[in-house]
Every structure is written in structure tokens, then in C-alpha cells.
Structure 1
């Protein structure tokens, strides 16, 4: 099967979303020399979280194409993969709270959609197939960090759907020899993130002088990963990763939600009077922490963005780009 290189034709699913669009913009900006000259087709359903404006900076690039469509559409997926030799699969329903109130879309998109892509990739002998997943599939960890060999123990419908898709993807490697490579990242942040996720939700609410909700005692711990570092890791896995392997991608900054809230209040010039303590989320995992020594040792991955400056730059981006996020919040009923 072809390896990524100057003549690669890459299908990027979910490429109009937060992480996928960053990957595409970075690729065309020359951030991934090993992928220089690649043709890229973005396949995106443009659900509430998919925004065509995220791709405006690359829309006129030679080699870029956009297709609006659903990864569960077997005919469409098969026809697209006939003209590609690699897949980077970002497309997913990803908001935990939404999965708690309604899990059906998560199962259809994350499980059935992934299986539909894998079927077509197998028929068309496509590879590599990079399946982008999450550390939430591991569950919750009181101390230490998860290596890639730890068993999966998801607690939310969202993380269960992603764990299911991970297992199906790896099964296609073991059964059919498909060149599948799985990445599992910690919590992402950065510009262009849909404002239902905690960091952009808090920033945009605070910039508007509003309140922010803090779940439970606020002591849940997350490892924060800048989207640019995450996409750097994905590019390395696409270029040099091994078939059938899982690679954790972490950011190296573990803080409680309460500490995160304090930093955002300070950055936005607000006080704790802006915080509403709310009932804890059902099945709220207490702590996430991935061991990313494998991708560091094998592929040379290293986070380049320290959290303090990365968060300050993110706050500044939302402050300067109201025209991007205000319509999104209004349409999603978040305003």
C-alpha cells in the first residue's frame, strides 16, 4: 500500500471541525514537510460543530477539495476512497454532555460510520488509515498514567462509542491486514474550537460578562493538549507510525477544572462571582492522564506549546474573533 509522501491523496473526514480543520490548514501551510504536495479531500457532514469557514484559509489551495457528506453513506465513501490512498479519520460526535442526553447519534456516527470507512478502505486497499480517538476510552485513573496497553473502560456513551470504534479499527488490521493506526489524545484546546467545550465556552461567556458552570467540586483533573501539538502527533503517526499500533498523544499539563477556571477568570478580567457551581455530570471521570512516551520514543513527538502561553493566545483569539463564534453560539442555543 502507498505510504504518505509527495503524491499522497489523503481523505480527511470531519475536516471542517476543530481538530480536523487545524490539521488541514497546517498541512497546506507547510507544517508537515513529509506530507508536502499531498492532495487533500475533506469529507464533512457539516453538523452543528462543522464550520466551512474553518477551511476558508485553504479553500483556494491547489490540491484541496471539499465534499459535504456523511461517513455512513457507503456509496459516497467507496467512490471517494477509489481516488485516495490514505485516510485521517477525525469525524465524530464528541460532546460528552450530548451523549448523556441522547446516545443514538454517537453510536451511528462513531461506530457505524467508522465501520463504513473501514469496509471501503479494505475493499480499495487503502492505507495508512489513521483513526483519531480519545483518552476517555480508558475511563478514569486515580494515579499514574495510561500506557497504550491498558484495557479500555469507558464510562460515558461518548467514550463507549469511541472505544467501540477503536476496537473495530484494530480488528480490521488483525483480520484483514489493513494498515490501521490509532491515536488517543488528551483534552484539546486552541482557536476555532466550537464554543460548547469548556475552554471556549468559559472564555466566550466571560467576554460577554456572563456566568460559567463548574461541575461538582471542580477537582476533576484533565491533561491539556494544544490542538497544534495534537495535529503534529497525528502527522507523525501518518508519516512514520506502525500498522496496528496505538499512540497516546498528551500535552503534559494536568490541572483541576477549578484551577483552569481560575486561570480563565484572570485572563478574561472576571472574578469568582462569575462562577455557578452546578450538579456534577453523570459518570464524570475524575482524572485523565496518558503516558505518551511511546510516540516520543518512536516518532519524536514532543509538545511545543506550554499551557500558560497557549491559553493566553487562545483567549486572545476568541477576543479578536467574535464574528466567528457569536453566530455559532446563537445557532446552538449557547448564547
Structure 2
């Protein structure tokens, strides 16, 4: 199959491109190579995907371009059977400083793709949404019926994008699925995430820094589980037209996470605390029963298992990856 992966040199998009290419599909990765974080990791993701294509029977092409370029988007979608839309302006905290860019990329960029898809008859449009659409919890875990009241411009832009996608599915009659990811982590993750920073600081004899009092909780989802959910949608149509949570069903206090990493790598270190950012969610916790029912989804990694795998990967790739984390 011909698969277009937007954001295809990023963290999740890179893993998807790698898997699809290894499985024998023809993959085009669209990425604007935005230096939101160091481009070395995007170049590495592209190399991994190219290697996967050589090992399997697939193909891989990286196209440098932007989802805001409607003409380019239309051209690429016209050759695709499936579109996996992972491109986005990421980051809850930066969205507070520049909300209009998040609208331009996450909303208008998504609309460019949807407009192209409605005229080409693609097999399915799968988009990355976010747990940030829920905002402050009325109850936990979040199920898909929970009110969506995002507290950051990033969350608002993701909610708008997914609502447009599901509306297009209804009125233009092509299959759309929005996957609401809960804090995805793992090998090749963005260098500026809490887990990568905790690991790096501990490996260098520096205490992990926690923003707030550490009682905030997160549902961290290992990248392999996210990939499997996406791959299922090459065949499964039960979730068409819907938004579906993809999480771990487990959550952990940030303080406990920092302690777990500290205890594995540098048990003598004390934790440090800094002021919490207002836009950060207090708690996230996914109810994935809908994903289980519709997609057969079941998370296969606990946070402790996933973090252990990430630490192992970090140690093997420390020479090139650590400088990216230290600069973030």
C-alpha cells in the first residue's frame, strides 16, 4: 500500500514510517524539519526508516515540506491509499506564547489534508490527537465521553483538528479515526520530555528537576503500543468516524517517576523542585476500553518496563542523543 505519513521524521511519525516500510509498504514521509527540537534526531529517524525499507520489501521517501502548503499536500495525498497525520506544532507550554502558530499548523494544516482526502477516495485518514483535549478532569480515568475543555492553545488546536476530521468523515463519506495519545515516550523520543531529562540528569550526576510538587500524575504510553494501534487501522474499520483513547491504563506521580529513574541510575541524588507551569495538566489517565473493544488494543508495557527499555536504548545511543537532551 501507498502510505503518506505527515510529520514522518518526528518521534511517532518516524516510528510509523519505519514500521510501514519494514512491512513492505511504500511510505512517503512529509516533514517540514522544524527545529522545535534538534534536527539530528529527525535525520536519525529518517535513516532508520530508510534502513527498514532496505531490510523489508517496502520503500521510503522523505519529502521536505509543510502541511500548510495546500498544493503540495494535494499532490502527495493523490498518490496515497492511507494518510497517517502526525504532523503538528507540539508543546503545551510554547503554545501559550504563540497560539496562532498552533492554529495555523494544527488546524489549517489538518484542513488542507482533509480537503485533499475528500477528493481522492483514500482508504482511511488516521490522525494524532491528544489527551490535552480533555483539560481539567471531572473524573478519572478519562473516557471518550468526558467533557473536552482544553486549558492550553495546543489542546484547543488538537480538539479543533479532530472535530474537523470527524465532521469531514460524516459529511464527505471517507473513513477518519482520531487517536488521542497519552504522553507517548520511548526510544528516539523528543529530547525535551520529562523522562529523557530525568535520565540524562541522573546519568550525569545531577538531580532530576520536578516542576511543581510532583503529585501531578501522567499516563505514559510506550511507543510500541502506539505503533500497534496505528497498524491495526490499516485493516480495522470499527473505529471509523470516532475519537479513541490510546494510553497505558496506568498512571504514575511525576515524583515517583523521578524516584524510579533516580534509584536505577544514581540512588544518592536528591530531587529538586521548580515552579510549575500553569498550562500543564494536573492529571492524565486513560480509559482504553473503547480502543480495546473496537481495535483489540491492549497496552503491553507498564511505565517501569517502558522506562527500563528507554534507559537501555539511551545508554546504547548516548554519544549522539545525550547532547540533544542537554541542549533542550
TM-score between both structures, scaled by the size of structure 1 = 0.89
The correspondence of residues 1-335 of structure 1 with structure 2, limited to 5 A, is: 8-30=1-23, 37-48=24-35, 49=37, 51-60=42-51, 61=53, 62-141=58-137, 143-241=139-237, 242-273=239-270, 275-329=271-325, 333-334=327-328
Return 5+ residue gaps in structure 1 as ranges: 1-7, 31-36
| CA deviation string 1:58-90 (max 9, x = no partner) | 315242111111011011111111111210001
Q: Is residue 13–residue 88 contact of structure 1 (8 Å, CA) maintained in 2?
A: yes
- Cα distance change on mapping 1:156 and 1:272 into 2, 3 Å: farther
TM-score between both structures, scaled by the size of structure 2 = 0.91
Structure 1 residue 270: deviation in Å?
4.4
Q: After alignment, is 185-194 or 118-127 more displaced?
A: 118-127
Question: Match of 1:4?
Answer: none
Distance 2:203 2:72 in 1: 42
- Count of residues paired in the alignment: 318
Return 5+ residue gaps in structure 2 as ranges: none
| CA deviation string 1:105-161 (max 9, x = no partner) | 222111111111111111222230001111110113254322223331101111111
- Cα distance change on mapping 1:258 and 1:142 into 2, 3 Å: farther
1:154 counterpart SS class: coil
Distance 1:254 1:133 in 2: 19
Q: Is residue 140–residue 288 contact of structure 1 (8 Å, CA) maintained in 2?
A: no
RMSD across aligned positions (CA): 1.8
Q: Is residue 93–residue 279 contact of structure 2 (8 Å, CA) maintained in 1?
A: no
- Cα distance change on mapping 1:103 and 1:272 into 2, 3 Å: farther
Structure 1 residue 252: deviation in Å?
2.1
Distance 1:153 1:113 in 2: 22
